[in-house]
Amino acid sequence: MIGGKIEGSEETTVSSFGKIEEAKAGQLSFLANPKYEEYLYATQASIIIVNETQVLKQPVHSTLIKVPDAYSAFAVLLNQYQQIVAQQLTGIQDPVYIDATAKTGEQVFIGAFAYLSKNVVVGNGSKIYPQVFLGEGVQVGQNCIIHPGVKIYHGCIIGNNVVIHAGTVIGGDGFGFAPQPDGSFKKVPQIGNVVIEDGVEIGANAAIDRATIGSTLIKAGAKLDNLLQIAHNVEVGQNTVIAAQVGISGSAKIGSNVQIGGQAGIVGHIQIGDGAKINAQSGVSKSIEAGKAVTGSPAFDYTAALRSQAVSRNLPELEKRIKELEKAVKEFKDNIITKSSQ
């Protein structure tokens, strides 16, 4: 499953997981961070996944599985374990409301107090946990996990293998209000939807607004943290990762493989190029080229920002040197004036 090479007993078995510093016999653990290497020689874990480059400095009592990337291999096993647990959860609890026109596939789970509106479609193997609301015409693909309390408004489309955590709202109205001559604001109807492609994961209590016209789009493989605000008509590219408390304004286009740090803010109608990196708490007011890293508010080039920070830290010393230079220049001028007067 993880393409590893065994060092030790091939007959060793495990039944649960444990952190390497706390694991007990019968548990599987992993070592990816060198800071925890000391526990490799003392842990009671029965099996440990390690990098194939790991050099042993002492005898190890556990069975080792050597792989190219221990962290990724461990993630594969955790995911497999989670799928096994999820597959055991099937059936429809009571009470629920499922409209007569709604369709559910095979091996699905519908938790208590869930509400499936007209023409909802839930694909094979998907899990709809308690108190989930699916609005009219919502489509949920195969093998999705929709955690408790998620609200998905009418017309939104969820792909396959999508995970949405508790409390998230998909498809609420975009923030569109037209200013009027009398100073009031008139609501602009939001008649689009949200489309979430395959393999996306969305954290808890996030808000992804429906488009004014067309679709707010989260492309395949994107990973979104908790407490996000994604406004109407935003596009998030494939395999882009966005940390908690980020806000993205309307019609911004985020490229593929972009990394956005926590609490960053992105104005509307700009483009973030593929592979760009935005540091935490950055305020992005202009488009960013592909592959570029930015930081600060307003955000600018990351390397230039580091140089500026280095200069800022040296300002007290620079001020002292400038004063010394000014004093020396003054003394030099005074000496010249004195000699001239003589």
Which of 40, 69, 87 is at the close of a domain?
87
- Placement of tokens 């998620």 in the chain: 150
**According to the model, what pLDDT value does residue 311 have?**
79
CATH of the domain at 79: 3.40.1390.10
Domain boundary, last residue among 35, 61, 87: 87
For residue 302, the model assigns a pLDDT of 74
- Domain identity same for 111 and 74: no
Q: What is the CATH number of the domain that holds 97?
A: 2.160.10.10
Number of domains in the chain: 3
**Measured between alpha carbons, how far is residue 53 from residues 9, 66, 125 in Å?**
20, 8, 39
Looking at residue 279, what is its pLDDT? Answer: 96
For position 305, what pLDDT does the model report? Answer: 74
269 is catalytic: no
3-state secondary structure at position 19: coil
- Note the pTM of the prediction, 2 decimals: 0.82
Please indicate, yes or no, whether residues 150 and 170 belong to a single structural domain of this protein: yes
- The answer to whether residues 151 and 258 belong to one domain is yes
Q: In what helix (H) or strand (E) does residue 115 lie, and over which residues does it extend? A: strand 115-116
> In this structure, are 130 and 220 located in the same domain?
yes
Which pLDDT value is given to residue 307? 79
Q: What is the mean pLDDT of each run of 10 residues along the chain (342 residues)?
A: 94 95 96 95 96 94 96 92 81 97 97 98 97 98 97 98 98 96 96 98 98 98 98 98 98 98 97 97 96 88 78 85 90 81 70
- Residue whose token pair is 């609301």: 133
List, in sequence order, every beta strand (DSSP E) within 197-333.
201-202, 207-209, 215-218, 223-224, 229-230, 235-236, 241-242, 247-248, 253-254, 259-260, 265-266, 271-272, 277-278, 283-284, 293-295, 300-301
Domain of 16 in residue numbering reads as 5-87
Question: Are both 170 and 54 inside the same structural domain?
Answer: no
Question: Which of 147, 154, 232, 269 does the annotation list as catalytic?
Answer: 232
